[in-house]
Structure 1
Amino acid sequence: MANIDYNYFISPHASRRRPALTRELTKRAYAVKDTISLAEGMPNEVTFPFEKMQILLKDGSSITLQGQQLHAALQYIPTQGYPPLVKTLKEFMQKVHQPPNWQDRELLVTNGSQDGISKTIELCIQEGDPVLVQDPLYAGAEIVLKPFKAELIPVEHDQHGMSAQQLMNVLEDRKAKYTEEGGGCKMPKLLYINPTGSNPAGTTMPAERRKEIYNICCKYNILILEDDAYCFMHFLDENPPSFLSLDTEGRVVRLDSLSKVLSSGLRMAWITGPKQIIANIELHIQSSCLHSSTLSQVITENLFQVWGHDKFMEHLSFIRKYYKARRDLTIDAMERHLKGLCEWNVPTGGMFVWIKVKGVSDVYDMLMSRGLKKGITFVPGHAFMADPTKACNYIRASYSKVPPKQIEKAMKLLAELIREEHLLLLFWNSSRDVIEQSFFGFFYGLELNQPFEQFGPKFWFQYLPRVDFEEWAAHNLTIFPNKAANSRHDAFDIDPSTG
């Protein structure tokens, strides 16, 4: 591995953490069994009310916890994780990813991959630091970065994920500014990326592009935070190589998760990375939650032992086929109802379709107000933007849980909603003078006689859904300014006393 100074990536506040002696003793208690210990601050297992736990699996096999194994499942464990599971996960990582220089890496169990994202980011950045992120960005990463007032540097994506050329352009521009300003413009030291079945775009990065991005990060001394929660849910014929499998220098911190393939409630995930980085994250876990759920880890370890590697890989194959079929149903419904109204790329992994709405500059009110009234919910693209305050015409649709028949209905309703939005915008752009005159008396009565532009479309649109647009178009719009105030209220079905 390259001679990397990991202190460069570790923030000052993280570098001040020190191991707790009691946690070190817990680790030793698992390693050494022939000592009389009066050191452990653990409750006695005989006081626990649980006698036996049994889990039946869908294939007919079962997991039974009782006796000493149940005691272990209900007790404190080393911060790194339940030792038998840590051993199993290390073997799994070596089989699946074959990372170079494995002896220089370590693995740590976390409370879901979101916990790993949070702790890795907290380890690496200080307030105001620049961070490279893919655009669109997983919302869970944005909420971690926000309290640090991080400068998010978005890197555009296409149907294959983050653009390597765009990443190079961004870094070259940044380096030029850094040189011109004498270091006043910081260079980023962290790249956050979803390479497989990305959330929300559903893109899976080809092997060649992963290599290009890895080489760029080597050139600019950037640590790669590879959040690969959907790596087991791609729809390709072959498994794409992970950044970890390409990591000859030791600059990849990889997050893996079983939330999407075993259970999201188990909160089972792990981080793999350079030993110094993992050791520092372990210190953070010591000071926050001590360790991830022991019961979840023991259940997972027993599942691996009952199934073995081959049966687990068969289960992953089933997962991919299941979600691919749901993706296909969704895309078919979109082709029938949204063609001409929207644009999209067919997802190559994950649980989401990233939809661009044509003819609408901002979808927020359309979805959050009129969409909810219509009985459909989608996530506005704003949630996945580096700057969520800007206008966005993208929608994230999830096909993971909705019943197949409702997928068809949802896309039909979305098409209706978009057409209505187009009509609203047409109505707004072509009839502003009429709207102003028609509503003038009503708003004057509410002492809201400010300039028309002060309100803007969002304010006026709260009243427009009550208008029968076909009737409006069929009549001479100029009649409304000549009507009395009460008549205007009647025409728009507005009660003057309530607004």
Structure 2
Amino acid sequence: MTTDNLNSALSFKHLFSKECLSRGESPIKTTMKYFLDPEFHFLGAGMPPLELFAFQNFSFKSLDLRKYTFNEIQDLILNKNDKFEDYINGDIIEDELDSDILIERALQYGNSRGHPSLLKFLKTHINNTFKPIYKDWDILVNNGSTYGLESLLRIFCNPQDTILLEDLCYSSTIEAIEAQRINTVPIKMDSEGLVVEDLEYKLKNWETLYGDLQKPKLMYLIPNGHNPKGVTLCDGRKLKIYQLLREYDIILIEDDPYFWLQMPQYKKPSLKDNQFIDENKPENDINSNQDFLNKLSHSFLSIDTDGRVIRLESFSKYFGPGTRLGYLVGSKEILDNVWNYHEVSLQASSGISQLMVNGLLNRWGQNGYLNWFKRLRVVYTQKRNFCLNSLYKHIQQFNINEYVQVEEAPKAGMFFMIYLNINKHPDYNQKLTELGKEKVVAYFENLFFEKFIQAKLLLAKGSWFTVNDPCHSVIDISKCMLRGTYAAVTPEKMDNGLKIFAEIVNQEFN
């Protein structure tokens, strides 16, 4: 389908904040097009000269996976200790590639939307992967998803506006929202993500449930490898969610940093002759890029006819958080207004980060980029499987099945969640009487957290991620939650840490 057959996005100016509507285009920004014209006598902006830039060249080294099949990548990781032999050595000056960002451009003011070569690569990547179905979608480079969210809150929300969140949410997201005095309303989740029935019920009965609270302008969710819950929103729910957002005129912020960390279904280990047997087998049905893409969930971009979905993309989980580089995908109207905000905040994302990331991507090509994600799939699957196998092993060995529940195995991302059945703790009834319902969960959460810390084990408190409902209590007083990660942990430390967890739970409950 060509863009000629597609409709343009709707205008959502009526949802913009007062701050956004009061902000115009930067007058200096409108002149930057002349800077690129070599015949222009550009005396209008305070730009330092190239000869005084301290850096004269940039080079990098990275794995070169372009020639590998998925099966070859998987075999090297599982059977040969991840020992790849092919590398790319990039040199921005010596290589003289047309796709490279010139150093004098990377280190200079300007290009606050992102450097054209990088934007071109990313637009092709998004189109190949998600195939947006309206005409005027665009990309805007930024400093990562956290900054992208903060920008969108400024674009859409006035103080006391309302945003819908999943009932568990990344703690920094909650803090960013509360700092702007925006109300939050949680929507229930289960093992398949956001519960559509709860969303529909709250939207239909808003006045009854929430009185004068402003109706929501935005909904924010993490569809894959949810942080902290670890679950993935099933594709079957997405169309109904989108239809409800259209009906109630709500913008969706789709924060999806774990999209390319999707994994096959996990199988619990079996027990035979007192030995735990790993039941997870290597994948053997990915023979092409399309086979790989068919394994992945769908983005809301793929069903967005209105331009009401804004997708947050980030390189943090794929290339390294220190790149501080990400981008927004959404309608041009919305991104133009975010761009105006960039001009008075970050101005532009790091030119050095863009130069390096762009240089690597264009040497890899689209196929090499997908192969990098295939490598991530195999490595994260290996990490997740080891973690959960170890967890179930120690739960069984210490006989604490009655006291521990493990959330649905992650199908994406880097997090797993454990629930402790605190109502079975020998001190529970006494503490419930002493402290009451409002404080009993916090008491046991703190109790276990401190005992874990004393034993040199860190698991994040579930309360750090809990979204409070302004009108209704949603606390389950029978459980407390703990979030763990298997991402940057060696197998030895993972196994020992989970053994410590099981030992302490056993000591406390027995």
Coarse TM-score class (shorter-chain normalised): 0.7 to 0.9
Q: Determine if contact 1:112/1:257 at 8 Å carries over to the other structure.
A: yes
- CA displacement at 1:305 relative to structure 2: 1.1
2:161 is equivalent to residue 129 of structure 1:
yes
1:1-400 paired onto structure 2 within 5 Å: 1=7, 4-30=10-36, 32-59=37-64, 60-66=87-93, 69-101=102-134, 103-176=135-208, 184-236=212-264, 238-338=295-395, 339-344=401-406, 345-359=408-422, 361-362=441-442, 363-387=444-468, 393-400=480-487
Tell me, in whole angstroms, the C-alpha distance in 1 between the residues paired with 2:25 and 2:508.
57
* Paired amino acid for 1:96: T
* Structure-2 change in CA distance of 1:341 and 1:407 (3 Å): farther
Tell me, in whole angstroms, the C-alpha distance in 1 between the residues paired with 2:48 and 2:214.
49
- CA displacement at 1:336 relative to structure 2: 1.4
Tell me, in whole angstroms, the C-alpha distance in 1 between the residues paired with 2:179 and 2:14.
21
Tell me, in whole angstroms, the C-alpha distance in 2 between the residues paired with 1:302 and 1:374.
45
Q: Determine if contact 2:8/2:136 at 8 Å carries over to the other structure.
A: no
Tell me, in whole angstroms, the C-alpha distance in 2 between the residues paired with 1:382 and 1:420.
23
Tell me, in whole angstroms, the C-alpha distance in 1 between the residues paired with 2:46 and 2:365.
35
Q: Residue by residue, what CA displacement relative to the aligned partner does 1:430-469 show, whole Å, maximum 9, x if unpaired?
A: xxxxxxxxxxxxxxxxxxxxxxxxxxxxxxxxxxxxxxxx
Q: Residue by residue, what CA displacement relative to the aligned partner does 1:301-357 show, whole Å, maximum 9, x if unpaired?
A: 111111000011011011011011111111111111233332121011000001111
Secondary structure, aligned partner of 1:79? coil
Aligned residues: 417
| Cα-Cα RMSD | 2.1
Q: Determine if contact 1:128/1:151 at 8 Å carries over to the other structure.
A: yes
Q: Determine if contact 1:343/1:358 at 8 Å carries over to the other structure.
A: yes
Q: % of aligned pairs identical?
A: 25
Q: Determine if contact 2:163/2:220 at 8 Å carries over to the other structure.
A: yes
* Structure-2 change in CA distance of 1:35 and 1:3 (3 Å): closer
- Structure whose residues are more often helix by fraction: 1
* Paired amino acid for 1:61: I
* Structure-2 change in CA distance of 1:166 and 1:417 (3 Å): same
Of residues 390-399 and 359-368 in structure 1, the stretch that sits farther from structure 2 once superposed is 359-368
Match of 2:291 in 1: none
* Structure-2 change in CA distance of 1:366 and 1:26 (3 Å): farther
Tell me, in whole angstroms, the C-alpha distance in 1 between the residues paired with 2:301 and 2:140.
15
- CA displacement at 1:201 relative to structure 2: 1.2
* Structure-2 change in CA distance of 1:405 and 1:82 (3 Å): same
- CA displacement at 1:274 relative to structure 2: 1.4
Tell me, in whole angstroms, the C-alpha distance in 1 between the residues paired with 2:496 and 2:362.
43
Q: Residue by residue, what CA displacement relative to the aligned partner does 1:46-77 show, whole Å, maximum 9, x if unpaired?
A: 11222222111133212212388222222222
Tell me, in whole angstroms, the C-alpha distance in 1 between the residues paired with 2:62 and 2:491.
25
Q: Determine if contact 2:9/2:136 at 8 Å carries over to the other structure.
A: no
Tell me, in whole angstroms, the C-alpha distance in 2 between the residues paired with 1:311 and 1:366.
48
Tell me, in whole angstroms, the C-alpha distance in 2 between the residues paired with 1:188 and 1:155.
12
Q: Residue by residue, what CA displacement relative to the aligned partner does 1:54-106 show, whole Å, maximum 9, x if unpaired?
A: 111133212212388222222222211112111221111111110011x3222
Tell me, in whole angstroms, the C-alpha distance in 1 between the residues paired with 2:48 and 2:485.
44
- CA displacement at 1:177 relative to structure 2: 5.5
Q: Determine if contact 1:135/1:156 at 8 Å carries over to the other structure.
A: yes
- CA displacement at 1:282 relative to structure 2: 0.8
* Structure-2 change in CA distance of 1:368 and 1:27 (3 Å): farther
Secondary structure, aligned partner of 2:184? strand
* Structure-2 change in CA distance of 1:17 and 1:191 (3 Å): same
- CA displacement at 1:255 relative to structure 2: 0.6
Tell me, in whole angstroms, the C-alpha distance in 1 between the residues paired with 2:255 and 2:110.
26
**TM-score under structure 1 length normalisation:** 0.80
Tell me, in whole angstroms, the C-alpha distance in 1 between the residues paired with 2:360 and 2:31.
28
Q: Determine if contact 1:27/1:78 at 8 Å carries over to the other structure.
A: no
Secondary structure, aligned partner of 1:200? coil
Q: Which runs of 5+ in 2 are unaligned?
A: 1-6, 65-86, 95-100, 265-293, 396-400, 424-440
- CA displacement at 1:27 relative to structure 2: 4.2
- CA displacement at 1:259 relative to structure 2: 0.9
Secondary structure, aligned partner of 1:353? strand
Secondary structure, aligned partner of 1:62? strand
* Structure-2 change in CA distance of 1:3 and 1:259 (3 Å): closer
Tell me, in whole angstroms, the C-alpha distance in 2 between the residues paired with 1:277 and 1:52.
36
For the pair shown, the structure with the greater C-alpha radius of gyration is: 1
Of residues 385-394 and 49-58 in structure 1, the stretch that sits farther from structure 2 once superposed is 385-394
Match of 1:455 in 2: none
